[in-house]
Amino acid sequence: AQKVTQAQTEISVVEKEDVTLDCVYETRDTTYYLFWYKQPPSGELVFLIRRNSFDEQNEISGRYSWNFQKSTSSFNFTITASQVVDSAVYFCALAPNSGYALNFGKGTSLLVTP
Amino acid sequence: GAGVSQSPRYKVAKRGQDVALRCDPISGHVSLFWYQQALGQGPEFLTYFQNEAQLDKSGLPSDRFFAERPEGSVSTLKIQRTQQEDSAVYLCASSFRDYPYEQYFGPGTRLTVT
């Protein structure tokens, strides 16, 4: 069975703070893919990143960075120097190697206040 | 280029009515997915098309739900005899090829059954 857990339901930070969103997953597959999506108030899910299970290198894209650790089955997402426009619901998702349906966590609602 | 579009954006139906939700994927995208997102939850997989072939409909909650993509582009999700528990946001996503390419989501159709 595949499962994604995002234990943080809501996070509130003040602008310019750093914030980390946690994602823990369960799978029996040795090959799988992990994703992060952003869902702003407009509702449209925006793709942020895809990682495969064989690539444990951390990735940085501007103010965004991702920490993938197979040993702890975690794929955490950090926003550095948060901005009000980062306010959204963020979803972590898992896809098996033999399938295509994304298994989403319940999401973390991030509120960045001025 | 143009993203995934969905129509209508909002639909109110009386219990027992039939509804049809439309999805226009990104041009050239082979794969098309439907997800259902209940309030405060992550999206849940409904069905998957590769071109015009419906390869997986395991997520459809009942036989009242039916999806088609007759020419391999536009897709329609139909719900017959709507029930209150069908109230949700229905998301369509497309990807360039089959798994594991990232899926690009439309804005969704918010269905409210009264």
Tens of pLDDT, residue by residue over B12-40, are 999 999 999 999 999 999 999 999 999 99
What is the pairing mode between strands B5-7 and B10-13?
Answer: unpaired
CA gap B30, B49 in Å, rounded: 8
Does residue B98 surpass a pLDDT of 90? no
pLDDT level of residue B99 (50, 70, 90 thresholds) = low
What count of Cα atoms within 13 Å lies in the side-chain half-sphere of residue B27?
Answer: 2
A107–B contact, CB cutoff 8 A: yes
Given a contact cutoff of 8 angstroms between Cβ atoms, the answer to whether B91 and A102 are in contact is no
Q: What are phi and psi of B84, to 5 degrees?
A: -60, -35
Q: Among partner residues A35, A44, A100, which is closest to B107 by beta-carbon distance?
A: A44
Q: Read off the pLDDT of each residue in A11-19 and give the average, rounded to a whole number.
A: 97
CB atoms within 10 A of CB A53: 18
pLDDT in tens, B39-78: 999 999 999 999 999 999 999 999 999 999 999 999 999 9
pLDDT at B85: 96
Average pLDDT of the residues of chain A: 93
The shortest C-alpha distance from B104 to chain A (Å) reads 7
Does residue A78 surpass a pLDDT of 60? yes
Chain B residues interacting with chain A (CB cutoff of 8 angstroms): 3, 31, 33, 35, 40-45, 48, 56, 59, 89, 91, 93, 98-100, 102-108, 110
Element at B93 (helix H, strand E): strand B88-95
CA gap B78, B81 in Å, rounded: 10
Does residue A65 surpass a pLDDT of 90? yes
Q: Which residues contact B103 (CB under 8 A, 6 or more apart)?
A: A47, A102, B31, B33, B93, B94, B95
Sole residue written with tokens 């040795």: A30
Q: Read off the pLDDT of each residue in A94-114 and give the average, rounded to a whole number.
A: 90
pLDDT level of residue A107 (50, 70, 90 thresholds) = very high
Q: Read off the pLDDT of each residue in A6-15 and give the average, rounded to a whole number.
A: 97
CB contact under 8 A, B43 and A104: yes
CA gap A75, A79 in Å, rounded: 13
Sole residue written with tokens 């993203």: B3
- The first and second tokens of residue B108, run together, are 């969704």
pLDDT at A108: 98
pLDDT at B100: 67
Answer whether the bond into residue B100 is a cis peptide, omega within 30°. yes
pLDDT in tens, A37-62: 999 988 899 999 999 898 888 888 89
CA gap B45, B57 in Å, rounded: 9
Chain Cα centroid distance, residue B1: 21
Q: Between these two residues, A11 and A29, which has the higher pLDDT value? A: A11
